[in-house]
Structure 1
Amino acid sequence: MSEVFSTRTAEPAVQGVEDFDLARARDGDDDAFTRLVRPLQRELHAHCYRMLGSAHDADDALQEALLRAWRGLARFEGRSSLRSWLYTVATRTCLDAVETRGRRALPVDLGPSSDRVVVGDVPLTEVAWLGPYPDAGLADGPAGPGARYEQREAVELAFVAALQHLPGNQRAALLLFEVLGFSAAEIAAMMDTSATSVNSALARARRVVAERVPSLTQQRTLRRIGDARVREVVAGYSAALERGDADALVALLTEDVTWSMPPLGHWYRGIEAVTDFAVRIPLTGCGSWRHLPTGANGQPGVGCYLWDDEAGAHLGWAVDVLTLRGGRIAEVTSFLGSGHFAGFGLPDALP
């Protein structure tokens, strides 16, 4: 089978060309199969991320799902749409992965915040960490007529982190119903269960998510703040770090701000603790910074680059995802590691 993962997006054909390609794909034409699935790949990839909490795991799951679909295409009888069938395959693939890999976490899930800076914090390699998701290509609006969440709302950090506290079947039911707009009957068929079981899973999942996700989503917050203020906050945050300006940074933060840095386990809550950390570590203890704005999880983000003497350049260090409230930064989640950069289209280094 030829490589089918692509960043292209389009509306899927329903008849005509799709029927022709479906017949050819069943006869073993992998190019026809690629044409069939390409328009749906981006939304399927986002679904896999919501299920698994990692863009890298989503890559693997989507490739495995498409391979399963390719091998099982002869069993697709056309009783449902091709989109529904592919979501069935992708969801079952993700449920298999959930069983073997468990849930992903953020530092706030592991223990209380630290009151003072922890110098020499080391990565916790035994923890499966939640990862960031690039905004590029995310569709606006719901993916189905019955969907409650916008596509960008459904990748916000708070929402994806809350999903990780659900068992796989509840996670899948919530996403298929609330994000993608499938009916309980359709989900029951996808998951080989009853509509009663689906409705029960939905009720339990909604309770958990409601407890963990703010009532005001980042999408609504960002619309209230306005693009100009969002750009101003991102630029001010970047400039303050590059200048080592603690006062300018603090002026951008809420009183109850949090800062976490997966894969480091310690995290900070409140302006005093966050200021202590910021002054001791990024502002004075790391060296020269450079930054590029980006978009992550439907939220403003920043690619952070730290000077490396040996390389003679600023190298990719972290992708910071900013959660805003009232025109200020309420959360900084710094996803450490240059491995995140390629997915965001960020360069490996800056001068």
Structure 2
Amino acid sequence: MGPDERFAADTERFRRELLAHCYRLVGSAHDAEDLVQETYLRAWRSYAGFEGRSSIRSWLYKIATNVCLTALDSRQSRVLPSGLAGPYDGPDRPPIPSAPGELSWLEPLPDSWIAPPADDPAAVVVERESVRLALIASLQLLPPRQRAVLILREVLAFPATDTAEILGTTTAAVKSALQRARSTLDEVETDELLEPTDQRARALLDGYITAFERSDTNLLEQVLRADATLEATPFRDWQSGRTRCIHLLEAHVFGAPGDWQLIPTTANAQPAAAVYHRGRASGIVALTATATGISRVVEFQDPALVAAFGFPPAIEKQQPIAHPPT
């Protein structure tokens, strides 16, 4: 076996988890994919000098973490509208988009990109819980190195000594950064969420899709919780409370029945759908499904995301389409 084959045999099995790691750090599926490519390029270049002083996995995580931290030095943190200010409570008007380039928006992550082996239930649970949108959005509020410490220690369970070695710092500094990060994230959403495979979650997704496609506010009222929130990038405004959410959709989004088509998928371990407007890709909508209804709706208006989830850029109006293979 040549050196390239040995490198692939030693490292390829970690690619999916490294992609999830980079996504947690940078909040963008596309950026994470590029950073994993850079990680593997750097690892390949230095593979001959790897002397086994740590595991291959730790070595790759060190490279990936530092690649991400370098990238974050020159990039804005990615946000959701709810991370900018409180919900909009002014007079009725269409939501206002941010100026081009003004903000960097959080992106959803296709579950198929990082799905761990089905025969490893523990890995499945960790992966799902650690890419929920609420957590990813909250992580972006932390300084990058605090973010890295929290992910390495709390999500990946690296010991403090290993985390310090990865980040080129001291164990005391790691413990201090972890304490500060935990304090900042005390307000992360604590609702017990339904798994996308739960029949109740699928029923809520189906109900939301039907309501949206029919422009039916009565159906929408049945699936949204009274305290539901609604936000969409690239718009700064977001809504809190079922009544305000439904009013915004009815007044400024819904058109004639059939104008919108939604195709079920999953994103960030949540029920989701690819969204089409009059047959053309519009974006991805992710739902936070709980036992008492949908508590949060986040739409990412970016046609390129639809392609990332494996769907075509356009479909025939009202023509059903199969879910892409995962």
TM over 0.5: yes
Q: Tell me how far apart the structure 1 counterparts of residues 268 and 99 of structure 2 sit (CA, whole Å).
A: 23
- Which of 173, 185, 193 is matched with 1:221 structurally? 193
Counterpart residue type for residue 222 of structure 1: L
Supply the AA of the counterpart residue of 2:193.
T
**What is the CA distance between 1:177 and its match in structure 2?**
1.2
Instruction: Indicate conservation of the 8 Å contact 1:117/1:273, yes or no.
Output: no
Quick one: which of 26, 34, 39 aligns to 1:65?
A: 39
The correspondence for 1:94, drawn from 56, 59, 68, is: 68
Contact 2:87 2:238 in 1 (8 A): yes
Q: Which whole-Å CA distance do the structure 2 matches of 1:349 and 1:117 have between them?
A: 32
> Within 1, Cα distance between the matches of 2:238 and 2:282?
18
SS in 2 for 1:114: coil
Equivalent residue for 1:203? 179
2:97 to 106, 122, 129: 122
How far, CA to CA, are the matches of 2:132 and 2:70 in structure 1?
24
Which among 150, 171, 190 is matched to residue 147 of structure 2?
171
Greater mean alpha carbon deviation, residues 192-201 or residues 113-122: 113-122
Secondary structure at 2:130 match in 1: helix
Q: Counterpart of 2:284 in structure 1: which amino acid?
A: V
Q: CA deviation at 1:95?
A: 0.6
Cα gap change, 1:142 to 1:205, in 2 (>3 Å):
farther
Identity fraction in percent:
39
Give the unaligned 5+ runs of structure 1: 1-20, 308-313
Q: Which amino acid aligns with 1:318?
A: G
For residues 74-117 of structure 1, the C-alpha deviation after alignment (integer angstroms, 9 at most, x for no partner) is 33110111111000000000011111113111001122222354
Picking from 332, 335, 338, the partner of 2:297 is 332
Partner of 2:166: 190
Report the counterpart of residue 43 of structure 1 in structure 2. Answer: 17
Following superposition, the deviation at residue 342 of structure 1 comes to 2.2
Change (3 A) 1:143 1:84: farther
Q: Is the contact between residue 321 and residue 332 of structure 1 (CA under 8 Å) also seen in structure 2?
A: yes
Structure 2 gap segments, 5+ residues each: 317-326
> Matches of residues 181-330 of structure 1 in structure 2 within 5 Å?
181-211=157-187, 213-216=188-191, 220-222=192-194, 227-284=198-255, 288-307=259-278, 314-330=279-295
Check conservation: 2:230, 2:296, Cα contact below 8 A.
yes
Number of residue pairs matched?
A: 310
What's the C-alpha RMSD, in Å, of the aligned pairs?
2.1
What is the alpha-carbon distance in structure 2 between the residues aligned to residue 200 and residue 121 of structure 1? 40
- Partner residue of 2:115 out of 131, 138, 145: 138
Flag the 1:226–1:294 CA change in 2: closer, same or farther, 3 A.
closer
Residues 317/286 of structure 1: CA separation in 2 closer, same or farther (3 Å cut) = farther
SS in 1 for 2:193: helix
What's the CA shift string for 1:226-258, capped at 9, x where partnerless?
722111111111111111111111121111111
How many angstroms does 1:36 deviate by? 2.7
Which string of whole-angstrom CA distances, capped at 9 and with x for unpartnered residues, describes residues 173-206 of structure 1? 1111111121001111111111111111111111
Distance 1:34 1:229 in 2: 41
Q: Give 1:285 shift.
A: 7.2
